Amino acid sequence: MSTRFYDVIVLGAELGPLLAAAILAKRGFRVLVLGCGTLDDTYEEDGVRLPRWPSYFGVGETPIVRRVFSDMGLWQIVKRKLQPLDPSYQVVLPRARLDVTRDHARTMEEVAREFPDAAGAVEAFYARVGSLDSALDAFLTDELPLPPDGFFERRRFQRAAVQNPFGPYGDGAALWSGIADDHPFRLAVQAQVRCATWADPDALGPLQIVRLHAAWRNHGAVPEGGLAGLRAFLRERIALHAGEIALEDGAEEILLRRGRAVGVRRRRDEEPTGCQYVVAGLDLERLLGMFGERGVPEALAETAAECRPRYRRFTCNLVVRSAVVPVGMARHIFFVPEPGFPPIEDNLLFVEVGPLDAERSVVCTQAFALADRVASDPRYLEDLERRIVSRLDWLFPFLDRHLLRVSSPWILPEPLRDGTRVPPAEREARSPARMPCVPGVPHGSTLGLTCLSHRLAGRHLYLTGRSVIPGLGDEGVFLSAWTVARIITQKDPRRVRLRRELGSVIES
């Protein structure tokens, strides 16, 4: 029997599990956060620190973000930490460049300049997007269990579904009315939405297009210190409320007894650490290895097979002289070199341009790599990296004269591949197996948005993070964390009663 006991043990230190931990710590639960090998947002190569992925925060002031941070009494602080982007982003096509801004009039001026043949249809498109997005605000923030689990949650969800503008009584099907399938504006919107979702980009529905496009257009921001700064801020709040954080520690096994989570076995301890609840915020592939000899719960294994990833998000960094960055280029760009071909690999690039020092800049580029090729072809990523650099040569004139370094967090430099100069932890962190995966959407997914269920793995074991509601991107991460915190709070009547007596703002 373990002598160490916590109310909640959280596995993983990405944004989703940290949000759930911070909410629960604020509500008085004794929380332990184990890093479980969570990757930093940056990596170091030859003394230069480079980003592991772009730092775009596409849900800056959305209702769920305000609600989560307001519950913790932090919204005004967080709001000051968010730097709005102007423009929100650019879309670059071979014969068009579109600045997308929060100012509707400015965006429509850009549309009229680039697509005069479709200006009226695009105006109507944004009117529909605004109306549908407002309806989704009410639908998605109504304390609905997403995805619903059990008879009563499903019944409640079906009753609320009449508010869903994309349901049987909605008008979401007419979203693209008047805009041809092959029109460049349609491609510009879809390119951004494909990069904003955490689910299979080939399975986009109208709901995702509306929600993700409206969020990134109206709420795009960069947190102070990037996403790493936001995660560090949450860790500070957890510690402030007596939570414990062990980023270097991890869990070897989630302990289940009669189908109920009762603790975890930490890597460095022979004795297990007990708890009342376990919250797992790990990616699906790593979660499946956490169940030891008892094996993966059947329901989780079945869903995992359906959520097999088709793509992984590959990052390529270019260190360049700042003089090569064109005047007028936004900080974030979606680049589609050949509209007639599938928007994958080097044919859809999400580019973030940021300063490295007084004279150098970093061009952080993310692309969709084929998951099967990553697993089977050891030279695939190097070839993709070369193709990405070749594509960027069109976006940055005279790139060859100003290119100082090409690096990827998922490719070790040639001199280091023998492993003698690379610590095992660093080699594991830069393995292609750690690239962010893009899960498929399983059969029966709720609204085409969900992958895993919060309660899929067993009683008192809850799942959060990108793999639960991947179809909503970063908003899905906040919804998932909020839902897990609400479920755990409602399961503890003693704490609910105490907070009522104290007059705390908390759902009963």
Is the CB of residue 205 less than 8 Å from the CB of residue 197? no
Q: Residue 147: is the preceding peptide bond cis (ω within 30°)?
A: yes
CATH number corresponding to 5-44+224-307+440-502: 3.50.50.60
Beta strand extents in 172-310 (DSSP E only): 221-223, 244-246, 251-257, 260-266, 273-280
User: What tokens does 7 get?
Assistant: 């109310």
DSSP, residue by residue, 64-111: HHHHHHHHTT-HHHHHHHEEE-SSSEEEEETTEEEEE-S-HHHHHHHH
The SS3 of residue 456 is coil
The SS3 of residue 313 is strand
Angle at 496 between CA 492 and CA 500, to 5 degrees: 170
Give, as one character, the DSSP assignment of residue 163: G
The SS3 of residue 235 is helix
- Rounded Cα gap, residues 481 and 472, in angstroms: 13
Cβ burial 435-447 (10 Å sphere, 16+ → b, else e)? bbbbbbbbeebbb
DSSP, residue by residue, 98-162: EEE-S-HHHHHHHHHHH-GGGHHHHHHHHHHHHHHHHHHHHHHTS---SS--SHHHHHHHHHHGG
Which alpha helices (H) appear in 398-472, and where do they start and end? 399-402, 424-429
160: number of Cβ within 10 Å: 18
Tens of pLDDT along the chain (508 residues) come to: 455 899 999 999 999 999 999 999 999 899 999 999 899 999 998 889 999 999 899 998 899 999 999 999 999 999 999 999 999 999 999 989 999 999 999 999 999 999 998 999 999 999 999 988 988 887 776 667 778 877 777 887 777 776 667 765 455 557 888 898 889 999 999 999 999 999 999 988 888 999 999 999 999 999 998 899 999 999 999 999 989 999 989 888 899 888 888 999 988 777 899 999 999 999 888 888 888 777 788 888 888 888 888 899 999 999 999 999 998 899 999 999 999 899 999 999 999 999 999 899 999 999 999 999 999 998 999 999 999 999 999 999 999 999 999 999 999 887 666 656 777 778 888 899 999 999 888 887 888 888 888 887 778 999 999 989 999 999 999 999 999 999 999 887 665 545 544 544 443 3
pLDDT for res 168: 52
C-alpha atoms less than 13 angstroms from C-alpha of 6 in its C-beta half-sphere: 25
pLDDT for res 300: 84
DSSP, residue by residue, 237-275: HHHHTT-EEETT--EEEEEEETTEEEEEEETT-SS-EEE
Residue type, 64: I
Nearest 5°: phi and psi at 205? -110, 170
Residue type, 92: V
pLDDT for res 304: 84
- Rounded Cα gap, residues 372 and 121, in angstroms: 39
Please report, for the chain, how many H helices and E strands are present, in that order. 17, 19
Domain boundaries, the chain: 5-44+224-307+440-502, 104-218, 311-434
Distances from the Cα of 500 to the Cα of 27, 75, 417, 497, 504, angstroms:
12, 22, 59, 5, 6
User: What tokens does 54 get?
Assistant: 């772009």
The SS3 of residue 47 is coil
